[in-house]
Amino acid sequence: MICSIVLAAGRSRRMGAQKLLLSLGDRPVIARIVDEALRSPVDRVFVIVGPDGGLIAEALAGRRVDLIINPDPEAEMLSSVRCGLRAMPEDCEAVLVVLGDQPGVTAEVVAALVQAFQTSGRGIATPIHKGRRGHPLMFAMRYREEILNRYDDVGLRGLLHAHPEDVCEVEFPAPNVIDDMDLPEDYERETKQYKNGS
């Protein structure tokens, strides 16, 4: 079983509003991202929210997802990843970590990562665009305890640096695997792309 952890516990301070609830096309950003995860080859989708995640839950109403609360959303992203890892079912073999503010990541991107992970024999798969690593990041569950207990200062980058021989890099020609949405101008960029039909 492959499970996806969608990170949606952040406060969106730089955006000035809860960015995951902003409209993008016909849906909120978080709904668009979760819909792509559900359309992809992953088997279960877990969404990590903060204590005030009720609005996120409303935006995802009717979708087949598990909501997990991170009691400390002020902490770094790794704390949300760990909340997700603690909730993984026993038969989960690999985890795909998806950013809640990366609306350019599609089911096709996920499928390419999953295929590379399954065929490469490596335990970690990461997308890359013009030499820059991005997200989603996929790793085997054998790394669960390591992630739960290490990398406090560096996050999941520490996992990649600790096991370079086990990393499969998947090249993507478009920048959607490195473009996230932190600032109002990032949201404008994404909105224009959807208006242009991309």
CATH code of the domain made up of 2-195: 3.90.550.10
- Residue ranges of domains in the chain: 2-195
Amino acid present at 84: G
101 by Cβ neighbours in 10 Å (0-12 / 13-18 / 19+) ranks as buried
CB 89 within 8 A of CB 44: yes
CB 4 within 8 A of CB 42: yes
Residue-level pLDDT at 15: 53
Longest dimension (CA), the chain: 44
Can you tell me which residue has the tokens 């609360």? 69
Residue-level pLDDT at 195: 60
Which band of pLDDT confidence, cut at 50, 70 and 90, is reported for residue 198? very low
128-185 tens-digit pLDDT = 999 999 999 999 999 999 999 999 999 999 999 999 999 999 999 988 898 876 666 6
Residue-level pLDDT at 73: 72
Residue-level pLDDT at 191: 73
18-68 tens-digit pLDDT = 788 888 788 899 999 999 999 999 999 999 998 878 899 999 999 999 999
CA distance 187 to 6: 19
Residue-level pLDDT at 175: 87
111-128 tens-digit pLDDT = 999 999 999 999 999 999
Can you tell me which residue has the tokens 């903060």? 50
Residue 169: phi and psi, rounded to 5, are -95, 130
5 by Cβ neighbours in 10 Å (0-12 / 13-18 / 19+) ranks as buried
Residue-level pLDDT at 183: 64
With b for 16 or more beta-carbon neighbours within 10 A and e for fewer, the 150-180 pattern comes to: ebeeeebebbbeeeeebbbebebeeebbbbb
Tokens of 190: 């994404």
Strands 132-133 and 66-69, by their bridges, are unpaired
Can you give 21-41 as a three-state secondary structure string? HCEECCEEHHHHHHHHHHHCC
Residue-level pLDDT at 126: 97
Residue-level pLDDT at 27: 87
**What is the value of pTM for the model shown?**
0.90
Residue-level pLDDT at 194: 65
